[in-house]
Amino acid sequence: MMWYRQNAWEATSDAVSKTWLAVDEDLHREEAESPVAFQKAEAPTLRMSSGQIFITFPIRVGAQVAAVKSEILRQLKRVTADNGTLSVQSEVHRAEELVTFNMAKLNLGKPAVAGMSITSKLTIQMRVPQQEGVRPSVSFVKQGALTDDELSVFSAALRAANKVISPADTTPAAAPPPPVMRDLLGDDLGAGILGFVRHMEEVRDAFSEIREAWAEVGAEWEHMHDRPGEPDSPTYGNRRTGEQAGDAQGFPAERRRPRLMPGQQRRQPLQGPPEREEEKFEYGSQEADQAAQQLQSLGTMVYPPGNKAAIDWGILAGYADQKQQIEDTMLLALLHPEVYETIAKGTRRHFANNKARAVLFEGPPGTGKTTSARVIASQASVPLVYVPLEAVASKWYGESERLLSEVFKAAEMLPGCIIFLDEVDSLATSRNSEMHEATRRLLGVLLRHLDGFETNKRSVVIAATNRKEDLDPALLSRFNTSVQFGLPDESCRAEILHQYAKHLTDQEVASVAAASPGMAGRDLKDLSEQAERRWASKIIRKVVEPDQLPPVAEYIAAANQRVKEREAKQRRTQLPFAML
């Protein structure tokens, strides 16, 4: 799933960038001939949250909001005409109108990214604030990359949002009469009737304005006569004699309220402003949300803090020693920092934080390093910032160092987080005479930020590698501890297989574990999925009964096949050296 999201992000970023370049070029060409100076158009911004890609762009000053809405609706009707559905919802809350377009279409063509669902779903949100000074905006929300049809809708909406109507274009020309009216009445008579209809509409609007003005005058009149008068005032008692009216007990009689004018409503008593609802932020505060958006724009993946029950150690079978070490050095320090601080104050002459600042996860691929980082972030209720290699790698001079530095600076704006550096051996290899200058500079940036990383926050840097021997000694000295994730033994493989084949007995699971030597947890998951797929094909071909589950023989066959594939790969790797 991680690679699919990354591929979708790269494909969407590339498509949005190309579309914006084309639109921006057309806008410059059109506005170059205009004598009016327009405000500069703004490029769309991208961010990823919970696997969804958000593409947002503002509606340019001078553009017509209604025209943007109509263009989006027209394009969505076009792409969903054959095999799609479309729904539109509009609601107003908190002084803002929110128009939501939901589109679903059967994707019969080849998807832009491998693994994309055959049904493509797209949500478009158009926010129109009611207060002045706040610009409306349009957001495209998609789980995955944009298809060709969705990209055409995005291009049309982007053009409409930046299409400024000049003052000369604001006065609409008189439209010609419809063809049916021209055929029946002729051009002159038809145009005259349409002109008369437009004139009557203008008269109606004028009467509406007069009616509203009279309503305001009547409200002021009512307000004046609703004030309590003095005892000797004619409005307090009898208007003709000035005598005070009253009942038998001497209390003044109820005054008659003046008659309302047509279209007038009685003024309601003034009330205070409604209480403002407390804004909810995904990452705890507005500053933290902005920092998360900046991290996503830099190419990292940010997972918001979730419920502690969302992810726990149950998803990682085995590795009891590694779990204990992680809890002692990181997780408990994030959950109960005051205990660690009390011990440090009682044992040290000069207080210094004793919590782990940087930890190294080492081991072969598929042994649970990334999963452990997700468990730590979920249990500690802090965001997980996943930094892949491609997020900071760049071919331009000094760009990689700048990107890595910005990632650390943005992460420091969060109240706490887990920064996970995947494949750190590609960024910080051992320094020698053959090291490239760019790698040397990137290593220097990483060392400086690890030294200056604040330990008073609930944050930890976790670096993952499967080639610890290639890391620079200066970098290794920065890690407070190292957790070794080796290949699981036979008993650990049995515990992992129980996660994916719960219907097998303990003896059957043990036989599958014995048939899969040297396999990591990811390999065991893959062979279990392979056994399930082969069994599903037999059910579809009616070879077996549909109410049966895969037997142990299917799992052993999948394990044997994976062992053969691994041995063949090793022979191909060793063949060039044998020929020397």
How far is residue 106's CA from residue 201's CA, in Å, rounded to a whole number? Answer: 45
How far is residue 509's CA from residue 523's CA, in Å, rounded to a whole number? Answer: 15
pLDDT of res. 436: 60
For helices 506-514 and 552-579, what crossing angle results, to 10°?
10
Joined tokens for residue 397: 């001079």
Domain that holds residue 403: 290-484
Residue 573 within a domain: yes
Same domain, 206 and 321: no
Residue 89 within a domain: yes
Same domain, 117 and 231: no
Instruction: Find the angle CA(373)-CA(374)-CA(378) to the nearest 5 degrees.
Output: 120
Same domain, 55 and 77: yes
Residue 523 within a domain: yes
Q: Kindly indicate the confidence band of residue 286, based on its pLDDT and cuts at 50, 70 and 90.
A: confident
pLDDT in tens, 113-140: 444 445 778 899 998 887 777 889 999 9
Joined tokens for residue 74: 């027209």
Residue 272 within a domain: no
What CATH number is associated with residue 317?
3.40.50.300
| 103, 136, 169 - which closes a domain | 169
Same domain, 101 and 210: no
Same domain, 93 and 208: no
For helices 506-514 and 490-500, what crossing angle results, to 10°?
120
- For 172-213, the DSSP string reads PPPPPPPHHHHHHH-HHHHHHHHHHHHHHHHHHHHHHHHHHH
Residue 505 within a domain: yes
Coil vs helix vs strand at 139: strand
Residue 278 within a domain: no
Lowest mean pLDDT among 38-52, 509-523, 542-556, 564-578: 564-578
Same domain, 142 and 116: yes
pLDDT of res. 508: 92
pLDDT of res. 256: 47
Q: Looking up tokens 């705890």, which residue turns up?
A: 284
Letter string b/e over residues 186-221, b meaning 16 or more CB atoms within 10 A of that residue's CB? eeeebbeebeeeeeeeeeeeeeeeeeeeebeebbee
How far is residue 108's CA from residue 115's CA, in Å, rounded to a whole number? Answer: 14
pLDDT in tens, 351-377: 777 788 889 999 888 888 888 888 888
Same domain, 73 and 154: yes
In this predicted structure, the answer to whether residue 254 has a pLDDT above a threshold of 80 is no
In this predicted structure, the answer to whether residue 97 has a pLDDT above a threshold of 60 is yes
| CA distance readout (Å), 94 to 39, 280, 443, 530 | 28, 14, 49, 52
pLDDT of res. 37: 60
Joined tokens for residue 209: 């304005």
Residue 58 within a domain: yes
Q: Kindly indicate the confidence band of residue 389, based on its pLDDT and cuts at 50, 70 and 90.
A: confident
What CATH number is associated with residue 124?
3.30.160.110
| pTM for this prediction | 0.50
In this predicted structure, the answer to whether residue 432 has a pLDDT above a threshold of 90 is no
Q: Kindly indicate the confidence band of residue 193, based on its pLDDT and cuts at 50, 70 and 90.
A: low
Tell me if 145 sits within 8 A of 116, measured CB to CB: yes
Alpha-helix runs per DSSP H in 80-166:
148-161
pLDDT of res. 437: 64
What CATH number is associated with residue 509?
1.10.8
Hey, CA dihedral for 556, 557, 560, 566, is it positive or negative?
A: negative
pLDDT of res. 191: 52
Same domain, 77 and 194: no
Coil vs helix vs strand at 534: helix
Same domain, 7 and 114: yes
Residue 133 within a domain: yes
Letter string b/e over residues 73-107, b meaning 16 or more CB atoms within 10 A of that residue's CB? eebbeebbeeebebeeeeeeeeeeeebbbbbbbeb
Same domain, 112 and 198: no
pLDDT of res. 253: 46
Q: Over the Cα atoms of the chain, what is R_g?
A: 35
Q: Kindly indicate the confidence band of residue 534, based on its pLDDT and cuts at 50, 70 and 90.
A: very high
Q: Kindly indicate the confidence band of residue 443, based on its pLDDT and cuts at 50, 70 and 90.
A: confident
Joined tokens for residue 76: 């969505």
pLDDT in tens, 225-250: 554 444 444 444 444 444 444 444 44
Residue 19 host element (H or E): helix 2-31
Same domain, 456 and 544: no
Coil vs helix vs strand at 444: helix
Give backbone dihedrals phi and psi of 140, rounded to 5 degrees, phi first. Answer: -100, 125
For helices 2-31 and 148-161, what crossing angle results, to 10°?
40
Name the nearest CA neighbour of 141 among 193, 179, 198, 101.
101
Lowest mean pLDDT among 33-37, 41-45, 257-261, 456-460: 257-261
Same domain, 300 and 329: yes
- H/E/C letters for each residue in 283-295? CCCHHHHHHHHHH
Mean pLDDT for all residues in the chain: 76
How far is residue 142's CA from residue 53's CA, in Å, rounded to a whole number? Answer: 5
Tell me if 501 sits within 8 A of 528, measured CB to CB: yes
| 434, 459, 484 - which closes a domain | 484
Q: How many domains does the chain have?
A: 4
